[in-house]
Structure 1
């Protein structure tokens, strides 16, 4: 499909890890008219402000990457914030896009939408077939609502609002807070500090037994643009009206213990690993079935060790300015 490089593309959440990667990807492809708005310019929680922004800009496409995100600790500590803010942001943007004639939108969700004990690897059909992981249920419900918003606007108004569900993401511009971050940035920060301090050990939360899949954010950005750019006939062959979301991942997982060993090697920490079994493990296994995306012609290109090495190199260059919120 030939790209119109002059289309006005609004990337919501452009300062976040995924949003910034999408902006980089779009620029690399030659897109000339990428619209972004910082939080002090546009409050995505304010419906009036969002409507005004869309009215004032002739937007052709929207990448909805804005979200409040965090790891197990953050989700457990701030459940009301996670469900409220994510519901408001996605509802405001999707409604404003529709009201202002935006035909194409891509909503970025999360693999946590699937039941805690979903058969592995998790297929798109597993959605709403069982109970969610309690530690991040409010966030997951908000993301499920986003999928259903897109489906509903497609059914009622004929819009082309697509949804992609990434597995666990990591990479530059991640949140490196030691408590409120996801597993890879939190672990990287911990190993780095232990290396500098010549510590004898690093403590890793949980038993180390859960299985997780990790996708570099640059791969996620590439997949997002790929799915957005698919022509209608190719896309519709692999999508059902009531099953419109697509999994994005590598199709390969590893134990948290294996991740820690790889991180130890990448960072260059020479001490030992200690697993704190008093901390929660979360879902026993999370592996995405990515056969639908592969059938559409895309697959991940960055290995875990390569991605971690690239991320650590970026971390070292930016450690003084990292987000720690």
Structure 2
């Protein structure tokens, strides 16, 4: 893979910084972090303004804005139901987004780029905690393999650019993320925001039972999006290497424990049932964050605090949520 090195170069706060996917869960958190760090020229386009699947439009945007730095946080994302129902969309859309943005960034000589993937790139039964070396060593989880393959292609694309053009681009693989601007829709959300919506609606409607998918036994690691954004800026200024970097909290909990925490946070006192005819997905997915720790970063927001903050945000914005 090649030797990693410490980058240790503060990014120029006055240079143009393009955040692809700036209104999403991760992208909006990155914009907030960059603004707090003093970046004065952050650019972004909504999907209505710029369809990243349209190659010519992407190249025109890069030619016009000439970004010096890029974070590629734009992607078609979703939970088990969405991924298993629309694998073609998740593969095709994400491949096109990535190829267009990465090719344009190379042509217009973007100095520093961070590609964001997902922990689902790792094999379903990878040894826990999952080290970066586990990539491409086994079969993927079938319910989201199309999305995972697209993200793996992105990692290899970044590595190829490093080899062929010598640009110090990097990739980061976050664990399960949550926070402000998440997708809380019933059909497209990931587990934590889906549970927040389900339990909060039960409180609002006075429902005394909630039914969740699966057994509740799979273990998952969660990281607040503000922590993820802080890690991204840290890696852009401190890390340089071809291998993707895992970004997580370093600890996990069961889905059942998450449900209990969320129920308590929203004030739900009814019963919870588990539909064991529905799939559990990967039994455990805990990332080895040793490489990230060696680069000088660890998570700061506890799960309890993060869930409380996310529930508060959800309740403030429930009337205007995307995909509601």
TM-score after normalising by structure 1: 0.96
* Residue 75 of structure 2 corresponds to residue 67 of structure 1: yes
Once the 2 structures are TM-superposed, how far is the Cα of residue 294 of structure 1 from its aligned partner? 0.3
Q: Which residue pairs with 2:236 in the alignment?
A: 228
Q: Which residue pairs with 2:4 in the alignment?
A: none
Q: 2:29 pairs with 5, 17, 21, which one?
A: 21
Distance, in Å, in 1 between the alignment partners of 2:138 and 2:113 is: 28
Mapping for residues 121-136 of structure 1, pairs under 5 Å? 121-136=129-144
Distance, in Å, in 2 between the alignment partners of 1:224 and 1:109 is: 12
Q: Deviations over 1:221-276 (max 9, x none)?
A: 1101110111xxxx34xx4x4xx100000010000111111011111101111111
Distance, in Å, in 2 between the alignment partners of 1:55 and 1:22 is: 23
Distance, in Å, in 2 between the alignment partners of 1:87 and 1:313 is: 35
Once the 2 structures are TM-superposed, how far is the Cα of residue 2 of structure 1 from its aligned partner? 3.7
Q: Which moved more, 1:266-275 or 1:132-141?
A: 266-275
Q: Which residue pairs with 2:247 in the alignment?
A: 248
- Structure 1 vs Structure 2 CA RMSD: 0.9
Once the 2 structures are TM-superposed, how far is the Cα of residue 289 of structure 1 from its aligned partner? 0.3
Q: Which residue pairs with 2:213 in the alignment?
A: 205
**Paired residue total:** 316
Distance, in Å, in 2 between the alignment partners of 1:171 and 1:40 is: 23
Mapping for residues 265-276 of structure 1, pairs under 5 Å? 265-276=264-275
* Residue 309 of structure 2 corresponds to residue 301 of structure 1: no
* Residue 281 of structure 2 corresponds to residue 282 of structure 1: yes
Which secondary structure does the structure 2 equivalent of 1:251 belong to?
coil
Which secondary structure does the structure 1 equivalent of 2:169 belong to?
strand
Which secondary structure does the structure 2 equivalent of 1:160 belong to?
coil
Once the 2 structures are TM-superposed, how far is the Cα of residue 40 of structure 1 from its aligned partner? 2.3
Q: Which moved more, 1:193-202 or 1:116-125?
A: 193-202
* Residue 197 of structure 2 corresponds to residue 189 of structure 1: yes
Once the 2 structures are TM-superposed, how far is the Cα of residue 3 of structure 1 from its aligned partner? 3.9
Q: Which residue pairs with 2:88 in the alignment?
A: 80
Q: Which residue pairs with 2:46 in the alignment?
A: 38
Q: Evaluate the alpha carbon distance shift between residue 94 and residue 3 of structure 1 in structure 2; reply closer, same or farther with a 3 A threshold.
A: closer
TM-score after normalising by structure 2: 0.96
Q: Deviations over 1:142-187 (max 9, x none)?
A: 0000000000000001111100000000001001111211001111
Distance, in Å, in 2 between the alignment partners of 1:3 and 1:146 is: 23
Distance, in Å, in 1 between the alignment partners of 2:66 and 2:237 is: 19
Distance, in Å, in 2 between the alignment partners of 1:190 and 1:24 is: 28
Distance, in Å, in 2 between the alignment partners of 1:147 and 1:58 is: 23
Q: Which residue pairs with 2:177 in the alignment?
A: 169
Q: Deviations over 1:201-235 (max 9, x none)?
A: 111110000000000000001101110111xxxx3
Q: Deviations over 1:98-127 (max 9, x none)?
A: 001112110000000000000000000000
Q: Deviations over 1:4-23 (max 9, x none)?
A: 21011000001111001000
Distance, in Å, in 2 between the alignment partners of 1:197 and 1:43 is: 38
Which secondary structure does the structure 1 equivalent of 2:36 belong to?
helix
Which secondary structure does the structure 1 equivalent of 2:50 belong to?
coil
Distance, in Å, in 2 between the alignment partners of 1:274 and 1:36 is: 42
Distance, in Å, in 1 between the alignment partners of 2:143 and 2:81 is: 8
Q: Deviations over 1:262-302 (max 9, x none)?
A: 01111110111111101100000000000000000000001
- Which structure 2 segments of 5+ residues have no match? 1-8
Which secondary structure does the structure 2 equivalent of 1:294 belong to?
helix
- Which structure 1 segments of 5+ residues have no match? none
Once the 2 structures are TM-superposed, how far is the Cα of residue 314 of structure 1 from its aligned partner? 0.5
Q: Which residue pairs with 1:292 in the alignment?
A: 291
